[in-house]
Amino acid sequence: MKYIIGIDVSTTATKALLIDQMGNVRATESVEYPFETPKPLWSEQDPGLWWQATISSLNALLSHSGVSNVDIAAVGLTGQMHGLVLLDANGSVLRPSILWNDQRTSAECDDIRSALGKSRLIQITGNDALTGFTAPKILWVKKHEPEIFAKVRHVLLPKDYVRYRLTGDYAMDVADGAGTILMDLRNRCWSPEVLNALGIPSDWLPRLHEGPHITGELSEEAAKLTGLRVGTPIIAGGGDQAAQAVGVGAVDEGIVALTLGTSGVVFAATNKPVFDPEGRIHAFCHSVPGKWHMMGVMLSAAGSLRWYRDTFSPNTKYDDLLAPSESIPAGSDGLFFLPYLTGERTPYPDPYAKGAFIGLSIRHTFPHLTRAVLEGVAFGLKDCFELMKSSGLSQVHQVRVSGGGARSALWRQILADVLATQLVTVNTMEGAAYGAGLLAAVGVGLWSTVEEACSKAIQVTSSTNVNPRDKEIYAKRYPIFRQLYPSLKESFPDMDIT
């Protein structure tokens, strides 16, 4: 029996997932770590945490599963997108990684638009310059930390730093690379025009690969540390959202993946580059060779519920937190929640956007607030769907929902009613790590294509149908939700004044 390992280098933990050659999950191990917010709007992490967590999770995976390292056919990588990792000529980390949810780079985004023109930037990269992306982070370091910038020789993303430690190779997949906004989206390569305009040397950037391609082999040093065998193939994989889509089988047009994790993501595969002329929807390469995808991202989805629980009812189990709100009617008796706790990306690329409860009255109880949080996130995800439809998403055959928030039957029902579409779950909730494993299996020939791997390994396990009555209630409330952000937008930046 051959086995595959998928490694997911996320914001809060690194997970190692063991999959057999039939696609069955045999074991998982995870090691958690913190991230830092040293200043308002900042979010940073020590790349060494990812590497130590990778070592620990792989050792535990092999030890607890009893699988011999000679039976591991390949390792696939995925992880948090957009994080900036800067290395010097010796491969040493120069500063903490600036993460995807860091919001410090508004001025640098303006600089990028000025250098290229917003329209031309979107034509090349498929995206506007947003604070979460990698390119403005590079320019921020150039402007604010010139002594560090002078030492830079390599630019990587989080999972690709782990790849470097595993193999000694500087490499990246095209799906994650597209999220740097330094790529020519149509041609799936680095863009000389963008790099020249921004003053970023092309030799700082790693080789680009399609998701299932082998990028290198496990080094002797990494083998000693991880317990894997020397020479194990390491596969390109993908950024967490593209790998997540593979993990739920969203690899063909018409199947949409909805991820209800810390952030909320709506992901639709396309057979050609499709993008919004204003850059309000992300357009990236897919981890599937020859395919692209549209993606809407809200920054605080299940993260909103976690904040709410931790702030108002710490140590309460989520099931216990949500149960009382099941008796609250759809619409929460007039209460709204804006889920912009860490700024927003889609449809409002606004680092200053704030969260809010709106419509509070004396009749509202704690369960009302809880349900309002679930509904506010659902409305935010509907914003993503509506933008994608207006940008060219022609048909949706099925919405496949995953992520920690998708474990809640109540939240799935609210989403189905707000989106007015049936939701389904699939036989694995492992998401990105599982997708990385399937890409690795294709890379070493266990399946011939990513599409074949998904069709053989992934099955629908449950469905949530639309409640016609609640669907109508939410249809009436959604336009009100849409008015709230524009009404408050001008006040948000002033709220940070001390």
The residues annotated as belonging to the active site are 240
Q: Which two tokens stand for residue 411?
A: 């939240």
**φ/ψ (deg, to 5) at 50:** -65, -40
User: Contact at 8 Å (CB) between 23 and 447?
Assistant: no
> Which residues, in sequence order, are CB contacts of 441 under 8 Å at separation 6+?
4, 19, 21, 23, 73, 74, 76, 447, 453
Place of tokens 């860091």: 102
394 vs 19: CA distance, rounded Å: 35
Single out the residue of 257, 195, 240 nearest to residue 426, CA to CA: 257
Single out the residue of 153, 159, 7 nearest to residue 83, CA to CA: 159
- Grouping H, G, I as helix, E, B as strand and the rest as coil, residue 108 is helix
460-464 vs 423-426, strand pairing mode: antiparallel
User: Contact at 8 Å (CB) between 33 and 12?
Assistant: yes
> Which residues, in sequence order, are CB contacts of 3 under 8 Å at separation 6+?
18, 19, 20, 21, 26, 67, 71, 72, 73
